[in-house]
Amino acid sequence: MESSTYEGEAHASPSIAPPGDSTVRKKLTLFSLEPKILDHILSMIKPEDAWQLSKTCHAAYNIAIPRFLSEITLDGGNWSRRVQGSEHTTRFYSYIFMDPSHRLPQVKSLTVSCSAFVYYYYSDTSEAYLTGEEDYSPAGSLADAIVGATNLERLQIDGAERLFEESEALADAVAVLSALSDVEFQGAGLHTLSVISRMASRPRRIALVFQESDTDADDDFQYPDSLDSHIHFLANFTESLVYLDLAEADFDFIHDLAPDAVWPNVQSLSLSGGHVTPSALRRAFPGVRTLRLMNVTYSADASEVSWPALDFLIADRDLPVVGSIRRLQIEEPILRPDLPPVTTDLATLLKRTSPVVVSCVPQTDLLSYIADSVSSVRFIQLFLEEAQLSDASLLEDPEASWDAYIPTIARSSLEGVTIKTGTGFSGRSVAVRDTLSVAEAVVNQIPSLRYVGLNFSNTLDNVSNWENVTYTWYRVSAGPTDASPKLEALPDWEGELVLKNLLNMTRNE
């Protein structure tokens, strides 16, 4: 590797003079900083940028390589250099084992995509048609690397079931790791559950997306009538598990595989795309604070359940959950334009839970119901994109779109409101002056407001990532008698704090 020594120019280097000594000066360079400070600086740059830094000089190499190796993604390689698929995985193995005692312990996060085990080639001499075939030959080498990565904390494998089926060595390597705290397997199945059942690690987070049924592509993953005796559903993680995310399976297997197991420390539970028995979930996960149930089904005669600790419910339909819930996020498809605006079930859910914070796609009937019948709501997040608009004319002007909705919640005693538009607004971003005029219009109609957050950018945001949206924030203060309220634009850092406080608002505030 080509290297150089960086000394810098004397007149450009900051200097430090010890107290009481104006003659002795010490040159301050990047490499003279304390290791903890350097680690913090490097943690804020991307691994690929750390790689570029490592090529500048010997000193940079020594401090940057640990950051470069800390997050490894085997995603099919560099297409411009034609290092693709399984060849990329093989080259990673070769690089890491050039200095295994130093490099392997630096790996903290590893993501293995499906393309990491595909051999790509051109099917003709013109190089016009690229063809790919499965190639699991590097799996054994990757297993050796995983065994040596004793500090590996996060592991994500896409196409996990196929990979574990093809490579017993790699399945064994994952099972013996002891430091994993975050595990995510896409395309999971019985081989995957077998690996999980044997894991020496005690992760805090597990995310599993199960592969579709072999018999019907529309069916969720089903378990056979008989299973190997060593397969048990996460029963070895009853004390360690805090975050659990499961998708595309019949979730009654939780009870079938571990009928007596309880995960008392699980605080966040997300289930999507299967059948659930609410009472069984309540028994198995009594301490859940955040519950996300999407596209799940349950029996019509399912008994109502109460989670005493439940704070945040994310759902796309009514659920037999009783008791107050501080925060409710209503996702699609319960609010599709082709469905009735407010179903009886949705009204029942709102009335039963009496939320303080509500996030939803706006519809006039829904907002009117909240204003008239759910007096507990103090903060509303509204998200609108083209797919939810029944009136195409509203696409031409975001201000007009909110004029159609805001009056319906004018009767609510709201302290805060956020408005986020997605794609579809004539392909344009709204200027700052438009943002201010919308904020003024909102405040004039809802006199109780203290804060307004607006985002009219044409981004592909969806309801699920509301917490990651940034807003232009305004603080509302009372003007002189008979005058309109005053709006003060807040700096970004203060706006972020305002959003955090509003999302965490309690009933007593």
- Give dist(CA 479, CA 39) in Å, integer: 49
Which of the two residues, 67 and 224, has the higher pLDDT score? 67
Would residue 145 count as lying in a domain?
no
* Domain enclosing residue 36, as ranges: 1-69
Residue 110 confidence (pLDDT): 94
Does the pLDDT at position 266 exceed 80?
Answer: yes
Residue 235 confidence (pLDDT): 81
Would residue 434 count as lying in a domain?
yes
Choosing from 69, 88, 106, the residue where a domain stops is 69
How open is the CA angle 7-16-14, to the nearest 5 degrees?
A: 45
Choosing from 69, 85, 115, the residue where a domain stops is 69
Which letter, b or e, does each residue of 121-144 get, where b requires 16 or more Cβ atoms within 10 Å of its Cβ?
A: eeeeeeeeeeeeeebbebbebbbb
Would residue 47 count as lying in a domain?
yes
Does the pLDDT at position 65 exceed 50?
Answer: yes
Would residue 478 count as lying in a domain?
yes
CA atoms within 13 A on the CB side of 174: 32
- Give dist(CA 268, CA 285) in Å, integer: 9
Number of separate domains in the chain: 2
Residue 161 confidence (pLDDT): 93
Would residue 25 count as lying in a domain?
yes
Choosing from 34, 69, 104, the residue where a domain stops is 69
Would residue 131 count as lying in a domain?
no
- Region 275-291 average pLDDT: 89
Which of the two residues, 407 and 492, has the higher pLDDT score? 492
CB 470 within 8 A of CB 457: no
pTM over 0.85: no
Would residue 187 count as lying in a domain?
no
Would residue 457 count as lying in a domain?
yes
- Region 87-98 average pLDDT: 86
Those residues with Cβ within 8 angstroms of residue 11's Cβ, 6 or more apart along the chain or in another chain: none
Residue 337 confidence (pLDDT): 45
